Amino acid sequence: MSGHAPLVRDLEQSIPAATGGRAAVAGAGDGSDVAGLVREPVPDLILVDLLPPGGVAAIAAARAAAPKTRVLALAGDGDPAAELEALRAGASGILPRGDEALPPLLAALEGWAVVPAALLASLVERPVRPAAQSATAQLDESDQRLLRLIAGGSSTSEIAGVLHVSDRTVKRLTAALLRKMHVSSRTEAAAVAGSAGLV
């Protein structure tokens, strides 16, 4: 994890206990340490604080170094523009600060897209943009159905149940969908879906 040392220490203790030891948590002092977090063993999660300078760059670096590791951003000063930049850099979601961070963090580990309600509302209420239309124009009916499920916040297991396929197949289909849309995360795909008027 990167930044906000008190919360990092709390989560280092809370996550293993909450997941029965299934999730590995790594700690780092600041964004400059992110590269060291993605060495073996690769952590299940990297959390980057948006308050210190360089948070968005740290997210991009972590995504490039460990594409399969979830990267979450810890909300900064409430600026939607900064949070949107974090999503565009590859963050899987935005976590609130303080004691309420753990439940959405655990949800993100289960495959949920975690976005503050205010940010999600602003994305959905934006007028349809040509770039968003371009990103979704080539999607067939099955792609659009998957995208709507993702944008609706369904987890990997829930999507598998709806589509009657395995979790592994959902992950493969999701990866293919992200490539088609030229986005780097489920959360960014959901934002594009909102801008394109698909949800």
Q: What are the pLDDT tens digits along the chain (199 aa)?
A: 555 556 656 666 666 666 665 565 555 445 566 666 666 667 777 888 887 777 888 888 887 777 778 888 887 776 777 888 888 888 888 888 766 777 777 777 777 777 776 776 666 665 545 555 566 777 888 998 998 898 888 888 899 999 999 999 999 999 999 888 888 788 788 877 777 776 6
pLDDT at residue 161, as a whole number: 93
User: CA-CA distance, 185 to 189, in Å (whole number)?
Assistant: 6
Q: What is the pLDDT of residue 29?
A: 46
What the block records as the tokens of 58 is 């740290």
pLDDT for 173: 94
pTM for the full model?
Answer: 0.55
Residues spanned by CATH 1.10.10.10 within the chain? Answer: 126-195
Q: How many CA atoms lie within 13 A of 110 on its CB side?
A: 17
Torsion of CA 101, 84, 159, 70, to 10 degrees: -60
Domain 126-195 in CATH 1.10.10.10? The answer is yes
What does the pLDDT read at residue 32? 60
In the block, which residue shows the tokens 């993605």? 38
Residue 123 identity (one-letter amino acid): L
Residue type, 140: D
Architecture of domain 5-114: 3-Layer(aba) Sandwich (3.40)
Query: Which residues of the chain are in CATH 3.40.50.2300 domains?
Result: 5-114
What is residue 68's predicted lDDT score, i.e. its pLDDT?
A: 77
Helix (H, G, I), strand (E, B) or coil at 113: coil
* Alpha-carbon torsion, ordered 102, 81, 156, 68, to 10 deg: -90
